[in-house]
Chain A
């Protein structure tokens, strides 16, 4: 069985978000990590590998520095890493990103593709489902549990107040929630082995069946007008009342705001 996990190197938002003067993210000033949902997807793939046997390939698109997340994935147990990097691919939105990744995936033999639900720097949750559209394979999103049954996957798909059990024949694509599992740690020896392995590096010319008009900043329909950190909330209103009166007061306010 062959599994491809798509991962993204994202800025670690735990240390706060930093911007360049032009409003874009100052990635150099922030620690880079593997996107948490992607890491859960990788762990899911590694558990399938442990249980059923599989070859796990990690795929990422990004700057040359994004190689680090591939090494990390290999130090956790992934077998191969592929980095797609090219200046013409820079500034991609979800459409251009999914087009690029699909172009790379057309060169790879796979039974299952796993992506994270969404990246913490974009929060769109679009790239995974878009890849499945490009490749014309089924997608099961928001997986909180994955099982393999013969040539199919059985997935618990998280829904608002319940979960769905969905079965799909492979090849298919699953998007993983970070709640899916607790990703394993790397091992010290795994780290050194990961750096001894070759990483495959692909550029624009290696992408299959893609049109330049769908790549990079130029091929991105999304235009960002402005980016900012969380907007500070106002101080709010403070009133001191007895419990009964407080309940009435809150109810009135909620009605006033059409919440109830």
Chain B
């Protein structure tokens, strides 16, 4: 067992750190304040290949491993949670399912431009009446017998990269079957939907507590006709596709949470050394020292869980038949809760300045909260973990 990173990973981390410090950090406060999607930086990331890090080169990606991608989300999130989730949603929730379940034609048509960063991706599962309970999904796809096209009706809410993305993975129910007890059960399918398809529009933009530069929109489908070749994976297998996609997405969000916690810790260490009270820096106070020690220990534990989940997903990507659901759930559960705890303590250690928008720390606390909620709440992660324990 080896906890040291190889030279490639160290160099990649330095690249992400330099980019985050030079390009992302100077914009982070403005992005939060104005709630504007950081398009200029996304374009820079596209040119540098950040939007296709774990995608094989033959599909336009960088051909790196999952850990490299995870470190990218982590380093970006250290300075800007918004930028971290843009990369995560694009890569884990849109490019990854096409790589895993797409046909060769779908990969050439959609994965290549996604991996090259020419197109941005998003994923739509959540609906007003269906979050954790997927059976509540109302969006329906009916196949036109004559043309084979799918006609999509319904709406999706809280969609990250909504409106700015070009390619969307959308989950809709396509069949209703009876289970063994005679209850009606919806069967879902996954579809690739392009922006600009007639009948596909955007609803309201959500105003959020944190990650305010991330574009969160409602997607609306009204008799939206999708070519039959845009069915992703087999008909009726949309739910396992969505769950598997979210397993990967959770590692991305866990990396985002980890990055936010690390960023908050770094700033708090700097601040407590500078801030003087009672004639000495507050870092000389034992309370501060103990708080920082606890924060650093939890951050390190979170990092180990996140990296371990990334390595487990790598085994899957390398062709092994392994599940990484539990590792992903543990990483996200723990990293998200650590992010919330560390940022809250960081605000406290900053005192009044921690509550002021001029300082990054209050933004980090607001950004941290969402990591306990999206791509499966902390409660859902506990369900996944205990489900595996008790089966």
Interface residues of A (CB under 8 A from B): 68, 71-72, 75, 185-192, 195
Query: Across the interface, which residues of A come within 8 angstroms of B53, CB to CB?
Result: 188-189
Stretch at the interface among B29-37, B56-64, B212-220, B257-265: B56-64
| Range class of the B interface residue count | 10 to 19
Question: B48: CB under 8 A from chain A?
Answer: yes
A191 close to B18 (CB less than 8 A): no
The distance in angstroms between the C-alpha atoms of A246 and B50, with both chains bound, is: 57
Interface of B is mostly: helix
Stretch at the interface among B6-14, B173-181, B268-276, B309-317: B6-14
B63 close to A187 (CB less than 8 A): no
B12 close to A188 (CB less than 8 A): yes
Shortest CB–CB separation between residue B28 and chain A, in angstroms? 18
Pick the contact of A187: B7, B8, B18, B49 (CB < 8 A).
Answer: B49
CB-based nearest B residue for A185: B48
Question: B383: CB under 8 A from chain A?
Answer: no
Query: Across the interface, which residues of A come within 8 angstroms of B48, CB to CB?
Result: 185, 187-188
Please indicate which of the listed interface residues A71, A190, A192, A195 has the most CB atoms of chain B within 10 Å of its own CB: A192
Query: Across the interface, which residues of A come within 8 angstroms of B8, CB to CB?
Result: 191-192, 195
The distance in angstroms between the C-alpha atoms of A188 and B50, with both chains bound, is: 7
CB-based nearest B residue for A193: B63
Extra contacts, 8 of them, besides A75-B11, A186-B15, A188-B12 (Cβ < 8 A), are A72-B11, A187-B62, A188-B62, A189-B62, A189-B63, A190-B49, A191-B8, A192-B62
Query: Across the interface, which residues of B come within 8 angstroms of A68, CB to CB?
Result: 7, 11
Query: Across the interface, which residues of A come within 8 angstroms of B202, CB to CB?
Result: none
Query: Across the interface, which residues of B come within 8 angstroms of A71, CB to CB?
Result: 7, 11
Shortest CB–CB separation between residue B54 and chain A, in angstroms? 9
A191 close to B11 (CB less than 8 A): yes
Shortest CB–CB separation between residue B42 and chain A, in angstroms? 15
Query: Across the interface, which residues of B come within 8 angstroms of A187, CB to CB?
Result: 15, 48-49, 62
Q: For residues 21 through 54 of chain B, which have their beta carbon under 8 Å from a beta carbon of chain A?
A: 48-50, 53
B15 close to A188 (CB less than 8 A): yes
CB-based nearest A residue for B44: A185
Pick the contact of A189: B7, B11, B18, B49 (CB < 8 A).
Answer: B49
CB-based nearest B residue for A184: B48
A189 close to B19 (CB less than 8 A): no
Question: B381: CB under 8 A from chain A?
Answer: no
> What are the 9 closest A-B residue pairs judged by CB atoms, nearest first?
A189-B62, A187-B49, A188-B62, A188-B64, A195-B8, A191-B11, A186-B15, A188-B53, A191-B12
